Amino acid sequence: METQARLVVIGAGIVGTSAVYHLTGMGWRDIVVLEQGPLFETGGSTSHAPGLVFQTNPSKTVTELAKETVKLYSHLTLNGQPCFAPVGSMEVATTQARWQDLKRRLGFAMSWGLRAELLTPEEARERNPLLAAAGVHGAYFVDDDGIANAVRAAEAMARAAEARGAAFRPWSEVTGIEVANGRVRGVATREGRIATDRVLICAGIWGPRVGRMAGITVPLCPMQHQYARTAPIRELAGETREVVHPILRHQDKSMYFRQTGDCYGIGSYRHEPLPVDPDAIPGHRGGPEMPSVMSFTPEHFAAAHAAAVELLPPLRGVPLAYAINGIFSFTPDGFPLIGESMDVRGLWIAEAVWITHAGGVGKAVAEWMAEGTPTLDLHECDVNRFPPHARTRSYILARAVQQYREVYDVIHPLQQMEAPRRLRVSPFYRRLEEQGAVFVEAAGWERPQWLQANEPLLDRYAVPDRMGWEGRHWSPIQGAEHLATREAVALFDLTAFTKIEISGPGALSFLQRLCANQIDQPVGKVVYTALLSDRGGIVCDLTVTRLGVDRFLVLTGGGVGMHDLAWIRSHAPSDGSARVVDVTSMYCALGLWGPKARDVLRRVCDDGVSNEGFPYFSARALAIATLPALALRVSYVGELGWEIYVHSEYGLRLWDALWDAGRFVGMIALGAGAFDSLRLEKGYRLWGVDIQPEYDPFEAGLGFAVKLTKGDFLGRDALLRIRQRGMTRKLCCLTLDDPAAVVMGKEPILDGPRVLGYVTSANFGYVVGTGIAYGYLPLSHAGPGVKVDIQYFDRRYRATVSEEPLYDPKGLRLRS
């Protein structure tokens, strides 16, 4: 056994082998892979996955991971045997709702670059003659989906990595991970210790146990999952080929199928979730041969079996020849866990990854380790994304169980989880509840989407109605709130914002290195800036306010807060010269926005709030209704106004004081639904959709916030290269020509049959009176007036590239 290594990988399933394959391909040597069981048929989840690869996913990132995986598996062989059979995939619809959703999935396929089509029932039966003659409305077909032989692919990748110098050690259970001063130092096994400052955990369902060895939570829950194979089917008699039929999903019944020679494999989520305590899963020594398999429970399979026979009648009366309750991982939000732990430096994680995504995840984690950032935007998969409550055992269990239930459900993008709720409430919650707030959740915070108390505004403002999909989880009250904010003034609960204080003698130089904009500003100045990767991609966008010579307040969105905090911490100087403290819970905040915002503030504040005394993009300490507050003259809705921060205990009084003062000028409480339409009408980008690490600030229209002349900063070299190379695409504002049309985001943007891009975010501009969509377009199509189409389900909406922002393009209202 080695005594030291550059990297120790724990687990030789499909994920561990893929990561090592890619790392050695990038020139890394001196890697040791420790596997508690034998190699290849390790007994982990990989050993018995039937290997169905469906690439389509509402998430662009997850689809990209699958596309990368298909590309990889398609070229892998072991002893001349292929690792992937590209037989295509079919998802059938047996309900109208599913059929509608398959049209939406076709849109995802076009947006994310997959070859897909919709089939009539007859066409579906041509591809799979076992399908029932009645009951199928149609199918969604993806040409290059197929079946991976996961064990073979893992072995092929391991052999290649071995040939490039990686060492694989079977029967080597990791029993401890040494951590000192927040850094990995080594790994303990029964065979001895390996000194290393980098560990990659790819331990699958054992992940939570291995994570605990280093003192961190790996937020996943192992779940039992049923898979069975029939005895030979008469209709397939004589079929010698392993697989010919496309893989099949029957999502209305939470099931999937694959052909295996003359038999059929049936996978089922159609049972009550059966979570498994991570501590109860045996290892290999002393355990059963396949520790990730539990005894089959036929009582949980009965409904699935009946549904299988209904969809594939030739299965009737055919007994099951093989059946298991396998185990694999579910996370609270259904996305994998990838990245370096923010709490233990050098501790990397690639967990809760399907066979479908393992090739892409291996590549992404290798890039991340070797090059500092992955080429793909991985924020949805970032291991650090969960706030503390989402790392508790009960939360993980509750959400993982629900993810299992909903795995194939039609999920609306605005659909809210039901439990656990009311985890984080601001001091304003009570007032919002009194106004009939319809709450949505983000990072555990409850925020109003709209407020029923604003319904009477509909007498005053005409708001176009929405039908169908785009009308779900929406109220016309949102439109009225939007218009009232533009006309009078609104109060918006901003408490969910993540607030990070950075202080110390090295704070300025740290922020200057981290941020693309000029941070060396007078005390009291607010700066909007992007934080860039060394590829020049936008990793975060936020504001930095200089509170003192070496004290700064960083403000960023609630949902992305943990991600941004991890990025900031991972770049903080190691000499302690800059302290990074998450002060989110210390402060609550209100947005006071609208043309009458100053009139309101003047009633409760003796300090000067004139345009000259308190200019745009500055911050001041104010006494508001006897409360010590920090106010920032900024507005994400594009109106005159302030963000007002006070210590949390003052919150309720702040609300009441402002509300009292605002009653006379038509103040309303604003919901997050209108907050979003207001920001889009004003052209403000939203990180995670409009901007993210795959896009640079120039093409995103944020060049104004980059100061290349200020000296060196992270991503500057890349930006210089990008500038020299020239721009090829641009984030554009599209207005929908049909004034009644609204899209939701992620739809493909087309010129005839050619897909140009996809909608990054969309909403309705209630002042400009048109549906708005943003998306990156090639320069050939980025000029104002260019006509394109947006595909929404089976409709095509004509749209026009427009000058942006649509609302107050000179920013006069902000500066009034």
Report the catalytic residues.
225, 256, 541
Instruction: Please list every residue from 158 through 177 that binds ligand FAD, using CB under 6 A.
Output: 173-174
Stretch that binds ligand FAD, among 10-18, 339-347, 551-559, 594-602 (CB under 6 A): 10-18
CB of 337 to ligand FAD, least distance (A): 10
Residues 110 and 794: their CA atoms lie apart, in Å, by 12
Quick note: the x/- pattern for ligand FAD over 51-70, rule CB under 6 A, is: xx------------------
* Closer of 356 and 402 to ligand FAD (Cβ): 356
Instruction: Please list every residue from 77 through 136 that binds ligand FAD, using CB under 6 A.
Output: none
**Selection from 81, 689, 46 nearest residue 359 by Cα:** 46
Q: Buried b / exposed e across 729-763, counting CB within 10 Å, b at 16+?
A: bbbbbbbbeeeebbbbbbbbbbeeeebbbbbbbbb
CB of 351 to ligand FAD, least distance (A): 6
CB of 72 to ligand FAD, least distance (A): 13
The answer to whether residues 687 and 492 touch, using CB atoms and an 8 Å cutoff, is no
* Closer of 299 and 712 to ligand FAD (Cβ): 299
Instruction: Please list every residue from 263 through 282 that binds ligand FAD, using CB under 6 A.
Output: 267
Q: Of 19, 44, 139, 252, which one interacts with ligand FAD (CB under 6 A)?
A: 44
Quick note: the x/- pattern for ligand FAD over 352-381, rule CB under 6 A, is: -xxxx-------------------------
Stretch that binds ligand FAD, among 11-19, 302-310, 705-713, 733-741 (CB under 6 A): 11-19
* Closer of 282 and 769 to ligand FAD (Cβ): 282
* Closer of 57 and 292 to ligand FAD (Cβ): 292
CB of 146 to ligand FAD, least distance (A): 11
What is the strand order of the sheet 247-250 is part of? 116-119, 138-142, 89-93, 247-250, 255-260, 263-268, 221-230, 320-330, 293-294
Residues 777 and 602: their CA atoms lie apart, in Å, by 45
SS (H, E, C) 459-509: HCCCCCCCCHHHHCCCCHHHHHHHHHHHHCEEEEECCCCEEEEEECCCHHH
Q: Of 36, 485, 543, 770, which one interacts with ligand FAD (CB under 6 A)?
A: 36
Q: Of 8, 10, 139, 588, which one interacts with ligand FAD (CB under 6 A)?
A: 10
* Closer of 49 and 678 to ligand FAD (Cβ): 49
How many amino acids of this chain bind ligand FAD (CB under 6 A)? 40
CB of 170 to ligand FAD, least distance (A): 9
Instruction: Please list every residue from 577 through 606 that binds ligand FAD, using CB under 6 A.
Output: none
Distances (CA, A) of 708 to 418, 468, 545, 714, 721: 47, 47, 20, 11, 12
Q: Is 719 in a helix, a strand, or coil? A: helix
- Which tokens go with 157? 């990748």
**Selection from 643, 599, 596, 598 nearest residue 617 by Cα:** 643
CB of 290 to ligand FAD, least distance (A): 10
Q: Of 14, 70, 142, 349, which one interacts with ligand FAD (CB under 6 A)?
A: 14
Residues 230 and 265: their CA atoms lie apart, in Å, by 6
Q: Is 361 in a helix, a strand, or coil? A: helix
Q: Of 50, 208, 641, 701, which one interacts with ligand FAD (CB under 6 A)?
A: 50
* Closer of 203 and 311 to ligand FAD (Cβ): 203
What is the strand order of the sheet 31-34 is part of? 167-169, 31-34, 7-10, 199-201, 347-351, 337-340
* Closer of 43 and 479 to ligand FAD (Cβ): 43
Cα(first)–Cα(last) distance of the chain, in Å? 71
Length of the chain: 816
The DSSP annotation for 385-445 comes to -S-GGGGSHHHHHHHHHHHHHTTTS---TTPPP-SS--SB--TTHHHHHHTTEEEEEETTE
List the Cα angle 610/613/614 in 5-degree steps. 80
Instruction: Please list every residue from 676 through 695 that binds ligand FAD, using CB under 6 A.
Output: none
Q: Of 5, 19, 28, 45, which one interacts with ligand FAD (CB under 6 A)?
A: 45
Helices (H), 35-77: 60-75
CB of 396 to ligand FAD, least distance (A): 17
CB of 327 to ligand FAD, least distance (A): 6
Question: Does residue number 203 form part of the binding site for ligand FAD (CB under 6 A)?
Answer: yes
Tokens 């939701």, residue? 744
Question: Does residue number 227 form part of the binding site for ligand FAD (CB under 6 A)?
Answer: yes
CB of 10 to ligand FAD, least distance (A): 5
CB of 358 to ligand FAD, least distance (A): 6
* Closer of 206 and 368 to ligand FAD (Cβ): 206
Q: Of 8, 13, 110, 222, which one interacts with ligand FAD (CB under 6 A)?
A: 13
CB of 62 to ligand FAD, least distance (A): 11
Quick note: the x/- pattern for ligand FAD over 305-334, rule CB under 6 A, is: ---------------------xxx------
How many alpha carbons lie under 13 Å from residue 352 in its C-beta half-sphere?
Answer: 26
How many alpha carbons lie under 13 Å from residue 137 in its C-beta half-sphere?
Answer: 14
Q: Is 266 in a helix, a strand, or coil? A: strand
The answer to whether residues 743 and 773 touch, using CB atoms and an 8 Å cutoff, is yes
* Closer of 62 and 744 to ligand FAD (Cβ): 62
Cis peptide before 805 (omega within 30 of 0): yes
CA 592 to chain centre: 30
What is the strand order of the sheet 174-180 is part of? 174-180, 183-189, 192-195
Residues lying near ligand FAD in the complex (CB under 6 A): 10-16, 34-37, 42-46, 48-52, 173-174, 202-206, 210, 225, 227, 267, 292, 326-328, 353-356
